[in-house]
Chains A and B, each alone.
Chain A
């Protein structure tokens, strides 16, 4: 089982949002949705949210904490933080390259 974010296929985008949200602290499902909505302007549908949470948990990128009544908070693991950092490093490289090319050829960015 691959541990990279790309290994999550079509869920990679939602996974990055969830991991980024959990990087700021432990959250339960609904708090996650609200946080993602606030910083990314994206509303994660409940089916998608729990599908991705299950897959991230299976891969050991997040861990479920003890439930507080019916709400169960999730925490980013060290492995998850490493995978997220690795993903952002790769994305930064792409971002810098793209911006440099836009600036050079189109005088944009």
Chain B
């Protein structure tokens, strides 16, 4: 093999560190540049490390985690997509934490006032968080359907197939026991849902939410003895399906042609989701601090699992907050009245 084709192969391999959009824009000239570099110095480990590291930085840029390389509109869209994926994963933990907190809270008659208050705040924040996520999903799915009808939906098919496959996994996972649970709860425990009595209704929702999310949260659930192997496999695939669903929806958010008003609301939505997540985690910590009934065993996952999930939620909030700030700062209409203040001429010898 000639050294030229070898150099080209090496350069092309190094290019893989970069995200597709970057490769499309700079790939050809970058490969050419690397080939010339290889001709000067054939092997240089620091050069390879530099390319790999900067490729990872470009990938972080591509996710909306920095404001260094994306256009203002692209920044908001990337931030919204990444936020959706992160918050969707966090929402599973939030739903699980809230449902378990609500069940434990309902099981005891006396609580300190902060525990009562924080349980209520957790319920409200979890509800709003889920409503915002559902609203985003509806807007994205309707926009995607419209785009497909107009014959411009080719790039959407991949994410849609993955999202649909993960939803199918949930559907296979849920039906065997969910109707039974509704029936059991409705007839034996509380005598049915009475929406005029929000307490029992919230308890019922918490009971179902916990049963649904627990297998997703506890990796991996030992399963129920005697269940068919196919069902056990699907149960074990449930956490993976959540991840696939979140990532597929994020790709869809990035690729779909969103209505103009939604694009303008994008950065505000990221900030809203970040704020809600922040309120949720702070409230959960206050709930633990004031003796919430499950502070010792977080969500039945054990101490290590509980701490890991808390750290994950904190990380999500930090990332979403950063993306929200960057997206707000880089909104196209924000630059109109921007005044650049030049360096003050204050230094004197």
Contact = CB atoms under 8 A, between A and B. Distances in A.
Q: A and B bound?
A: yes
Contacts of A96: 349
Contacts of A1: 67, 72, 329-330, 335
Interface residues of B, number: 38
A94 B343 CA distance: 11
Interface residues of A, number: 34
Given A30-B33, A51-B57, A58-B71, A46 B47 contact: yes
Contacts of B22: 54
A51 B68 CA distance: 9
Contacts of B37: 30, 33, 46
Interface string B316-349: 0000000000000110000100001011010111
B69 A48 contact: no
Contact of A50 (B26, B70, B330): B26
Nearest to B44: A45
Chain B at the A interface: SS class: helix
A51 B55 CA distance: 9
Contact of A46 (B51, B68, B70, B71): B51
A41 to B, nearest CB: 16
Interface string A18-30: 0000000000111
A58 B332 CA distance: 13
Interface in B1-56: 22, 25-26, 28-34, 36-37, 46-47, 50-55
B30 to A, nearest CB: 6
Chain A at the B interface: SS class: helix
Contact of B47 (A45, A58, A71): A45
Contacts of B33: 28-30, 33, 46, 49-50
A58 B348 CA distance: 36
A71 B25 CA distance: 12
B31 A70 contact: yes
Name the residue in B329, B342, B343 with the highest tally of chain A Cβ atoms < 10 Å from its Cβ.
B343
B340 A4 contact: yes
Nearest to B36: A30
A72 B67 contact: no
A31 to B, nearest CB: 10
A20 B108 CA distance: 71
Contacts of A30: 32-33, 36-37
A58 B54 contact: no
Nearest to B342: A86
Given A47-B50, A50-B30, 16 more contacts: A1-B72, A2-B340, A8-B68, A29-B32, A30-B37, A33-B37, A47-B55, A51-B69, A58-B69, A67-B28, A72-B28, A90-B343, A93-B347, A97-B348, A100-B349, A104-B349
Closest 3 CB pairs of A and B: A47-B54, A45-B50, A70-B32
26 contacts: A1-B330, A11-B68, A29-B30, A29-B32, A30-B32, A33-B33, A46-B33, A46-B34, A46-B50, A47-B52, A50-B26, A54-B25, A54-B26, A55-B68, A58-B71, A67-B28, A67-B29, A70-B28, A70-B29, A70-B32, A71-B29, A86-B342, A94-B347, A97-B347, A101-B349, A104-B349
Interface of A: 1-4, 8, 11, 28-30, 33, 45-51, 53-55, 58, 67, 70-72, 86, 90, 93-94, 96-97, 100-101, 104
